[in-house]
């Protein structure tokens, strides 16, 4: 079905060193939403919705050969950058111990009012990247071992990425998701159970989105960025329109690594670098859930640097406003399965000796 979708308003504030400018606010009518589904349709990368209970990570999803990463758990709910104006600019952090790091070349802030879409595979309206600029995105986490290895690789290169965690995974591993946010990466959402929304009713699809957003919020103990990626990039126009009413920015992709089909890190590197060199820039879709990707990342980042690519860090202007009924629904569904991170002193007190 072909349908025009009215989406507007993306103000992107751009910072480059000492000068800045705003690409502009709003525009017009965007559309039509792509009616040809990507090749990925036939092969789903993950079907968490079919998992009845929390899976035990297998050896394949365990940490790679890199040593355990020492993270300092956040001491308070993670605070996301939420500047009050669309044109507030941010300067890339210079605090990095690696002088040769890939780093962050500029930071963009996206106003997601009315639900703009990004990534030329499905959206053509907003092209905010310059030649040789890339945005790193990681889906389907958080996952033991793999996500931590991805975080370490990013930290070693002093660079930032955008994560799209699955709601159930976030509830299973909130401590890992907190580490993602604490490291300064943007965290959006990717549905509750990674369902293919093109196969659901609109009400079911809304619930998948809302519970996913509520789960990430609960896992973080604070608001997440108002960014969303459709599982398998399957985006029914009705759901795209709904996300517009929720002021959610939709991220498709420019460069799909298809890393979920790969078994060796070399394949992931070759896939990304090959497509990137042809296209010259783009939003790269990878999966921190995937073990080969976690192994590939140190070398991939090194090759990006060596090839002259620059990393753009993406932030959301305003966080998601989750809906109370779904906040309650996920807590009810997960009642007793989540581990409290409150300090002992706030839970247990001596009332008599």
Q: What residue ranges bind Zn ion (CB under 5 A)? A: 139-140, 231
> Which token pair is 350?
């001596």
**Which is closer to Zn ion, CB of 140 or CB of 156?**
140
Q: Smallest distance, Å, CB 164 to Zn ion?
A: 7
Q: Which positions ≥6 away from 282 have C-beta within 8 Å?
A: 119, 120, 129, 134, 135, 253, 254, 255, 275, 276
**Which is closer to Zn ion, CB of 48 or CB of 247?**
48
Q: Given 3-state DSSP classes, what are the helix, strand and coil percentages for the chain, each rounded to the nearest 5?
A: 35, 15, 50
**Which is closer to Zn ion, CB of 139 or CB of 196?**
139
| Burial of 274: CB neighbours in 10 Å, binned 0-12, 13-18, 19+ | exposed
**Which is closer to Zn ion, CB of 126 or CB of 260?**
260
Cis peptide before 54 (omega within 30 of 0): no
What is d(CA 117, CA 94) in angstroms, rounded to the nearest whole number? 30
Question: Does residue 298 contact residue 159 with C-beta atoms inside 8 Å?
Answer: no
Q: Smallest distance, Å, CB 232 to Zn ion?
A: 7
Locus of tokens 């009845």 = 52
Q: Smallest distance, Å, CB 37 to Zn ion?
A: 15
Helix axes 291-306, 146-156, angle to 10 degrees: 10
Q: Smallest distance, Å, CB 45 to Zn ion?
A: 5
**Which is closer to Zn ion, CB of 126 or CB of 164?**
164
**Which is closer to Zn ion, CB of 40 or CB of 178?**
40
* Cα–Cα nearest to 147, from 289, 301, 48, 313: 289
**Which is closer to Zn ion, CB of 139 or CB of 318?**
139
Give kind and range of the element (H or E) at residue 220.
Answer: helix 202-220
**Which is closer to Zn ion, CB of 114 or CB of 139?**
139
Q: Smallest distance, Å, CB 27 to Zn ion?
A: 29
Q: Smallest distance, Å, CB 194 to Zn ion?
A: 6
Locus of tokens 């079907």 = 47
**Which is closer to Zn ion, CB of 157 or CB of 271?**
271
The residue nearest Zn ion at its CB is: 139
What is d(CA 323, CA 329) in angstroms, rounded to the nearest whole number? 10
Q: Smallest distance, Å, CB 40 to Zn ion?
A: 9
Q: Smallest distance, Å, CB 241 to Zn ion?
A: 21
Question: Most distant CA pair in the chain: distance in Å?
Answer: 72
Convert 225-238 to b/e letters by CB count within 10 Å (16 or more is b): bbbbbbbbbbbbbb
Angle at 237 between CA 322 and CA 220, to 5 degrees: 25
Q: Smallest distance, Å, CB 190 to Zn ion?
A: 6
Q: Smallest distance, Å, CB 188 to Zn ion?
A: 12
Give the other-Cβ count within 10 Å of 130's Cβ: 14
**Which is closer to Zn ion, CB of 111 or CB of 288?**
288
């Amino acid at each position: 079905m072909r349908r025009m979708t009215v989406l507007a308003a993306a103000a992107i504030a751009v910072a480059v060193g000492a000068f800045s400018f705003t690409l502009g606010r709003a525009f017009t009518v965007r559309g039509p939403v792509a009616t040809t589904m990507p090749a990925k349709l036939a092969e789903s990368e993950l079907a968490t919705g079919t998992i009845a209970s929390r899976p035990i990570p297998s050896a394949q999803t365990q940490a790679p050969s890199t040593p355990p990463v020492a993270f300092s758990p956040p001491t308070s709910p993670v605070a996301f950058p939420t500047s009050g104006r669309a044109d507030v600019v941010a300067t890339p952090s210079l605090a990095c111990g690696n002088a040769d790091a890939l780093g962050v070349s500029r930071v963009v802030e996206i106003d997601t009012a009315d639900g703009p879409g990004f990534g030329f595979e499905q959206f053509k309206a907003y092209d905010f990247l310059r030649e040789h600029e890339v945005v790193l995105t990681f889906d389907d986490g958080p996952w033991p071992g793999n996500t931590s290895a991805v975080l370490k690789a990013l930290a070693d290169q002093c660079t930032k990425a955008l994560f799209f965690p699955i709601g159930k995974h976030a509830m299973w591993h909130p401590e890992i998701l907190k580490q993602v946010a604490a490291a300064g990466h943007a965290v959006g959402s990717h549905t509750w159970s990674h369902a293919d929304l093109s196969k659901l009713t609109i009400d079911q699809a809304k619930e998948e989105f809302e519970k996913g957003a509520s789960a990430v919020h609960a896992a973080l103990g604070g608001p997440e960025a108002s960014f969303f990626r459709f599982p398998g990039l399957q985006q029914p126009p009705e759901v795209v329109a709904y996300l517009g009413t929720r002021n959610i920015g939709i991220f498709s992709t420019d460069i799909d690594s298809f890393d979920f089909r790969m078994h060796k890190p070399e394949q992931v590197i070759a896939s990304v670098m090959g497509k990137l060199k042809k296209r010259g820039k783009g939003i790269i879709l990878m999966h921190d859930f995937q073990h080969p990707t976690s192994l590939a990342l140190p070398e991939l980042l090194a090759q990006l640097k060596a090839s002259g690519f620059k990393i753009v860090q993406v932030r959301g202007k305003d966080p998601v406003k989750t809906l109370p009924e779904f906040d309650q629904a996920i807590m009810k569904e997960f009642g007793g399965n989540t581990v409290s991170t409150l300090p002992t002193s706030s839970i247990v007190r001596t009332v008599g000796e």
